[in-house]
Structure 1
Amino acid sequence: IVSGSGDVGTAAATDTAEALTQALVVSGFEGELEQAGQIGKEMLKAEIMEWHKAGREAGVDYPEVEISKVWSKIIEILCNTEALRRKTSNMDQLRRLALEYECRVNPVFPMPDSRKTLLQLKERGLALGIVSNAQFYTPLLFSAFFGQAVNELGFDSECCIWSYKELKAKPAADLFPKAGKFLKANHGIDLSETVYVGNDMLNDIYTARQAGCKTVLFAGDKRSLRLRENDPRCIGLKPDATITELSQLVEII
């Protein structure tokens, strides 16, 4: 799954006041919504930066936000400043707001042949997992685009590591080993017997290689391709294979 900006998730978003105003409207908030949109978009940037700062101070090299909690704090402040009318907002409403905003600033869509490729891998009996910089809405994209939940497409839910649940993001060193623990326990597979596919030379190829995985670079979309040529960790680094179409993965494996 790729997006208009090339990345899926909060860090990729291009914030706009209008998008936030629209998201507030359809999510059922009331008040001075244009004002709230203008103030809120700046608050979102600041709150994410503060969250990252707090994470680093706590010893996390690559902190990740839990976006529902970020929005909860922003809504509370907007109510305190009377930009929004104070009323009880539940987690469903906050998640609706987060999703509505994300869809407006960073629309996503599936890559060609993605569902077909996943089902072919599933039919071959391969164990599938995910290590993703993600938010709560990322797994929902599979149902939206493919009509099937993550597990129905063949993924082992215990082998799916989502950054928002771990409160740390790739290239954090311990995300892949956590997936590897469940691969070993559930399927008897070592990370050295695993192929990891990604579009980012640092977050995906370097980090997966450090954990012992074989690696495949997906270079089929210029917007999402991250070569990281100036990062010293990626100098001289090469994936085990490079593909430009997802269907090529079936042949490689």
Structure 2
Amino acid sequence: MKQKTLLAERFKELSNPLQPEPTGEQPQLTKLTGIKAVIFDFYGTLFISGVGDIGIDDGNSDSQLLLDALDGADIEVSDPKAGKRGYEIYNKVVTDEIQEIKASGIPYPEPDIRKVWRNVLNQMYAEGLIRSSTSSDDHERMAVEFEVRMNPVWPMEDLHETLEILRNKEMILGIISNSQFYTPIAFEALAGHNLTSLGFDQDLLHWSFEESRKKPGLQFYENFMEKASKKYPALQPENYLYVGNDMLKDVYPAHEMGMKTALFAGDNRSLKWRKDDSRTKNLKPDIVITTLSQIAECI
């Protein structure tokens, strides 16, 4: 079985349906003129995120979870301390990777989780915590086994309906997401279709792990706009609607780029108003939606 297929199967096997948690927010809808493209956040917007977002440095230490992930990746443990000590190694490796990228001048770094797990597993082997050395396939498998347990995801209930409506409206579709290599694999595995068949433009899939930088860094969004303007030179920033669940990571940078903005307030796990941040406390999205399908009412 090819590696990507294997990883997709693991997402299917280990994932269970999730329902959005009510936020108590009311939609604030208005007609937006001139929209030609709709760009989405992934975690917490297109997909329910069990922890509300993705962040390789955001999880709580859980020794048993790490042991379960090692077992799922067929990595044999040789020391009962592997769970606890493995987490300590993981946290240090993540911190070191973040600091290394920051030192290169990137204020919001996004380490590649494959490199993280390579270093973690190499160190665990050196300390006698696991029985054998590991390969690049092992590093990817470990990343997926860990992520699916740490941050379960599931498509928003009206995802397919919304994308179909937008395709019928001939909207250009894209994604700007804090992400890892497994993000598009999870999307396609759990949505049941590849991204292009769902209407997404391959050139407008903007993943943070590919750039070592993430939201809310403005350069990450500027790089997207540069790609978009090359592909669609006739479009202006105000022709883009950006949809995300976080006022700081989504609405603020998209607004700075000149895009129209939609705050997705449909799941209490992921909704972030960020009213205590100077960049967002006086910022208002163009619309507030509580279901994805409400986008169609506004464009």
Give the equivalent residue in structure 1 for 2:187: 142
Worse overlay, 63-72 or 189-198: 189-198
Instruction: State the AA in 1 paired with 2:173.
Output: L
TM-score when normalising by structure 1: 0.95
Aligned residues: 252
Which segments of 5 or more consecutive residues in structure 1 lack a partner in the other structure?
none
Give the equivalent residue in structure 1 for 2:214: 169
Change (3 A) 1:92 1:69: same
Change (3 A) 1:2 1:52: same
Structure 2 CA distance for aligned equivalents of residues 151 and 35 of structure 1: 44
Give the equivalent residue in structure 2 for 1:242: 288
CA contact under 8 A between 2:101 and 2:111: conserved in structure 1?
no
Q: Name the Cα RMSD after superposition.
A: 1.4
Structure 1 SS opposite 2:75: coil
TM-score when normalising by structure 2: 0.81
Structure 1 residues 33-182: aligned runs within 5 Å: 34-87=80-133, 89-182=134-227
Structure 2 CA distance for aligned equivalents of residues 158 and 185 of structure 1: 10
Structure 1 CA distance for aligned equivalents of residues 139 and 154 of structure 2: 23
Matched, 1:187 2:232: yes
Give the equivalent residue in structure 2 for 1:2: 48
Change (3 A) 1:186 1:252: same
Larger RCO of the pair (alpha carbons < 8 Å, separation 6+): 2
Structure 2 CA distance for aligned equivalents of residues 134 and 34 of structure 1: 32
* Superimposed CA distance per residue, residues 18-74 of structure 1 (whole angstroms, 9 cap, x where no aligned partner): 111111112111232642222111221221111111222221110111001000001
Q: Hey, which of these two has a bigger chunk of helix by percent?
A: 1
Provide runs of 4+ in structure 1 moved above 3 Å.
Answer: none
Structure 2 CA distance for aligned equivalents of residues 33 and 193 of structure 1: 57
Structure 1 CA distance for aligned equivalents of residues 264 and 211 of structure 2: 25
Give the equivalent residue in structure 2 for 1:251: 297
* Superimposed CA distance per residue, residues 173-211 of structure 1 (whole angstroms, 9 cap, x where no aligned partner): 122222222322223322221000000001100000111
Which segments of 5 or more consecutive residues in structure 2 lack a partner in the other structure?
1-46
Give percent identity, aligned residues only. 37
